[in-house]
Amino acid sequence: MLYFFKILLLLINIDQETILKWFGVESPTSKTILTNNVTLSNIEVQTGSPISFETLRLIVEGLWERVQDGLTLADIENLLFFILFLRFIILAIRYNLKTSVYITCIGLFAGYLWYRHLIDLISMYRSILIKLPYLHKLGIDAVQLRSMSRQMVLTDLKLGDNVHWYNPGQLIYYAFTKSIIKTDSETGLRYYIDPVSMIISNLKESDKLNILPIYYKIYNKIIPQAFEAVSKFWAQLSGIAAYAVITRIGKRYCPYLVRWHWTFLLIIGFIEQILVYFVYRVSYFQAAVLIPQTQVSSNFVDQTLILQVNALNGLIAFIISIHLGLIFFGLFHAIWGQYFYFPFLVENTELHIGPRPKNSIYSGGNTAWQDEKNKNIQRFFPKFWYGWFGSGKTNNLKILQPFQRFIANILKYLRKQFRR
pLDDT of 269-304, one tens digit each?
Answer: 888 989 999 999 998 988 888 878 776 655 666 778
Q: Report which DSSP code applies to 188.
A: -
Reduce the DSSP state of residue 209 to 3 states and report it: helix
pLDDT (tens digit per residue) in 305-333: 888 888 998 999 999 999 999 999 999 99
397 contacts 385 by C-beta, under 8 angstroms: yes
Residue type, 388: W
Tens of pLDDT, residue by residue over 75-121, are 888 888 888 888 998 899 988 889 999 999 999 999 999 999 999 89
Closest CA to 271 of 121, 138, 123: 121
Beta bridge partners of 381: none
1 pLDDT more than 50: no
How far lies 335's CA from each of 111, 233, 277, 307, 367, in Å?
5, 31, 29, 42, 16
Mean pLDDT estimate for the chain:
75
Between 281 and 12, residue with greater pLDDT: 281
In whole angstroms, give the CA distance from residue 35 to residue 101: 49
Domain residue spans of the chain: 256-419
pLDDT class of 203 with cuts at 50, 70, 90: confident
